[in-house]
Amino acid sequence: MDRALLLGARGLRAFGFGFAAVLIGVHLETRGLPPALIGLTLGLGLAAASLSGLATAALASRIGRRQTLAVSGILMTLTGLDLALATQPFLLVASGLTGMLGAASVDLGPFASVEQSVLAEAVPADARNVAFARYSLTGGLFNAAGGLSATLANGAGWTKAFFLFYAAIGLATAALPMLMSARVEAPIAAPPFGSFKPLAGLAALFALDSLGGGFVANAVIAYWLHVRFGADASLLGPVFAAVAVLQALSYEVSGRLSTRFGLVNTMVFTHLPSNLLLLLVPFSPSLPWAIALLLARFALSQMDVPARQAYVVSIVPPAERAGAVAMTGAVRGVAQSFGPALAGIAIGVAAFGVPFFAAGGLKIVYDLALFKAFRNRRAEHER
């Protein structure tokens, strides 16, 4: 029951994030914000989403995980109401401060660190790998559905309605955690941040991976396909919809591979082939070849996500799980914050395939370093 409630809240929130990511820029523009303030709002949203997990991890150790998840839902409601109803520029910019703007990935924000620690308690240890795969699968599918639903928003009135719906989703995700049992709470009271030593090297490697990812953001890939092969929006839309579905389905496969071959092995040996495929993309002789290589790459590239989540919560004591997720997520978020600058550089040289070589090279270094450093460090439920 606890797991079903958690997945329900995860799916609802991911659906809201899916349409918010599509509509937020256009909505702020219709509210009269100039491009500079739109950029500031999105930047604040990404930074707050990356760092707010640290605050909720600390809060969870004081008031409990269920109450903290409810607070995160209320923050989502306030964000939706602000976007739907506010007209003053400073109020619209302030919507990014909650960490629930929806511009970030669904695995970031104030809810992520607590949700993942709750999931570790809500299932038996031997089912943890598959549980994290289903958690990622739920988020991926609902996020894609939310993005597709945004095509229904025609005009300012529709975007306002969508953000009122966003506020309602926040209320629902605030209520669902309060129905969970006390089993999802930390078994003993302890400081949320204690085991930094085993996480420091892991977090540094995650940052390297995120830095590489900044070179091949979807916008850069889309631009490269347009420059190199003349692909237009009517083709790129379905391609990236297929990418989202492939990534979501790969999470389920990841859970089964992790149980059979181990978490670190799954992270490395699914990620490494995807990065080799990334290096091949610039050599594509035609658009169909480029799309085929990209789809093959994306079918593998996110399999490490549920394995990484399950690994992080399983190498620290239960009371420190939220803090571990928050700390590694914040480091990844800081690395991702270089994305705008990297994207600008990458787009400038996109026709030459430089973004693919830079991303593939950095990510391969990450894979090899992760395997060397952590192949003998198993999670608690793998022993």
Chain mean pLDDT for the chain? 83
| 207-216, 336-345, 346-355: the lowest-pLDDT one | 336-345
Topology of the domain covering 2-184? Growth Hormone; Chain: A; (1.20.1250)
- Checking if the pLDDT of 340 tops 60, the result is no
Domain parsing of the chain, residue ranges: 2-184, 196-382
What's the pLDDT score for residue 176?
92
CA nearest neighbour of 210 among 257, 264, 255, 271: 271
Which tens digit of pLDDT belongs to each residue from 239-254? 877 888 888 889 888 8
- Over residues 253-266, the pLDDT tens digits come to 888 898 889 889 99
Q: Is the pLDDT of residue 213 over 90?
A: no
| Confidence at residue 264, expressed as pLDDT on a 0 to 100 scale | 92
State the Cα–Cα distance between residues 17 and 146, nearest whole angstrom. Answer: 7
What is the pLDDT, as a whole number, of residue 345?
A: 66
Domain 2-184 shares a fold with domain 196-382:
yes
pLDDT value for 189: 62
80 has a pLDDT exceeding 80? yes
Q: 15-54 pLDDT, tens per residue?
A: 988 888 778 877 888 888 887 787 778 777 777 877 788 8
Quote the pTM value.
0.77
Q: What fold is seen in the domain 196-382?
A: Growth Hormone; Chain: A; (1.20.1250)
